[in-house]
Structure 1
Amino acid sequence: MTDEGYRTVAGPGEARFEVRGSEFIGHVRPARDVDAAESFVERVGEEYADATHNVPAYRVRADPFREYASDDGEPSGSAGKPALNVLQQREVENVVAVVTRYYGGTNLGVGGLARAYSRAVKEGVDDAGVTTERPHERFAVAVDYDDSGSVRSVLESDGANFEAAYEERVTFDVRVPVDDAPALRERIASATSGRAAIEGAGEE
């Protein structure tokens, strides 16, 4: 994992077309981890349970980097690999694609299937749009109420994404680009004279 930006899809995307009677639907989504990718694959499988095939492929910036694809009952190498190849060629990460197929009565052959599955992912990615994302880090900051105003103003002046929970103490769940995290943590420690309890929750 590096601190450099990486390419991913900007949002959800979809593609629909027919090839010789078979209907193909490409579903593409951002996925921040393997769990998110797997749960999207499961969701599409449930929503399109009546489809002949739901072919998944994903690439996720985990440690180690994870790539996965399945033919889901199509002839070996005709579906999952072509779908994953598109994600590799487009150099997108933290992305999941599922291609749904309703069989139309005509066999397309391995080449025809590979072209259709590739096309469904390509058009899905095009529909979603591609963006460059910087790796982010999450950490939690717990302080007494007296220090919560200082922490909030540091976070706001830094433009950090955060959510605050006011309970016995105030806890800020902070999400910032990895490059900016050390300096931000120092500013919070300095603003609270070291009273803030800062716990890292990892990179995403």
Structure 2
Amino acid sequence: MSRTYRTVAGPATADFVVQGSEFIGHVRPVESVEATEAFIDAVGEEYADATHNVPAYRVRTGDESERESQFLREYSSDDGEPSGSAGKPALNVMAQREIENCAVVVTRYYGGTNLGVGGLVRAYSRAVKAAIDAAGVVEERPHESVSITVEYDDSGTVRGILESEGYEFEADYQATVSFVVRVPLEEADAFRDRLRSATSGRVDLE
């Protein structure tokens, strides 16, 4: 049985000012290091005029089908702030709340007053806490992505199964019909078997 884990419910931001410096905490759930890095890059581009954009994340990597064999990848950067004053405190907030598959970036616009290492630690921690509080924390089950391709005649059958299960999916109607579905890991094998049975094997699964 795949274990559940804690993550944020969705993207969120929170901002406040400390002695003239504006801090903006950005948080979002992520499912891969690639998605995490894309999010960090996007924030960096959107707030390219900021003094600092401090990233941190905790993401499970490894074989999705064997969650117990995965390891938790943790990363943070001070992005020019004094060593240990920004990235590590941001990461520590996620660790203390036992949140995984989560990325944060704290944007700072310098306000002219040096806050000192202690002040920076408090401000960056506060920014992450505030963003996480704004997002909300949920228990999540590990999922995998299943790609389904069928002929048009079988597409209604497949779509009916997806909707009856309540899975999130995207559909693309071309010469054939493709679905990309998020399925809880422990249900994935039975789900594939059900699709094969319902379409008499006329389904292409990845």
Q: TM over 0.5: same fold? A: yes
Q: What residue is the counterpart of 1:158 in the other structure?
A: 165
1:192 aligns with 2:191: no
Q: 1:137 aligns to what SS in structure 2?
A: strand
1:106 aligns with 2:105: no
Q: Percent identity?
A: 67
**Within 1, Cα distance between the matches of 2:106 and 2:154?**
51
| CA apart distance, 1:105 | 2.1
Name the amino acid aligned to 1:56: P
Listed one character per residue, the Cα deviations across residues 40-91 of structure 1 (whole Å, up to 9, x for unaligned) are: 2222222222221111111112224321100011111111100100011111
Within 5 Å, give how 1:29-44 maps onto structure 2: 29-44=28-43
1:93 aligns with 2:100: yes
RMSD after superposition: 1.8
1:79 aligns with 2:86: yes
**Within 2, Cα distance between the matches of 1:166 and 1:13?**
33
**Within 1, Cα distance between the matches of 2:115 and 2:139?**
36
TM-score (structure 2 length as normaliser): 0.87
**Within 1, Cα distance between the matches of 2:153 and 2:100?**
42
Aligned residues: 198
1:135 aligns with 2:142: yes
**Within 1, Cα distance between the matches of 2:97 and 2:122?**
16
Q: What residue is the counterpart of 1:202 in the other structure?
A: none
Q: What residue is the counterpart of 1:70 in the other structure?
A: 77
1:45 aligns with 2:44: yes
- Where does the alignment leave 5 or more consecutive residues of structure 2 unmatched? 63-70
- Select between 134-143 and 84-93 the one with higher mean Cα deviation: 134-143
1:27 aligns with 2:32: no
TM-score (structure 1 length as normaliser): 0.88
- Where does the alignment leave 5 or more consecutive residues of structure 1 unmatched? 200-204
Q: 2:61 aligns to what SS in structure 1?
A: coil
Distance 1:126 1:193, change over 3 A: same
Name the amino acid aligned to 1:172: F
Residue in structure 2 matching 1:174, options 181, 185, 191: 181
**Within 2, Cα distance between the matches of 1:117 and 1:104?**
15
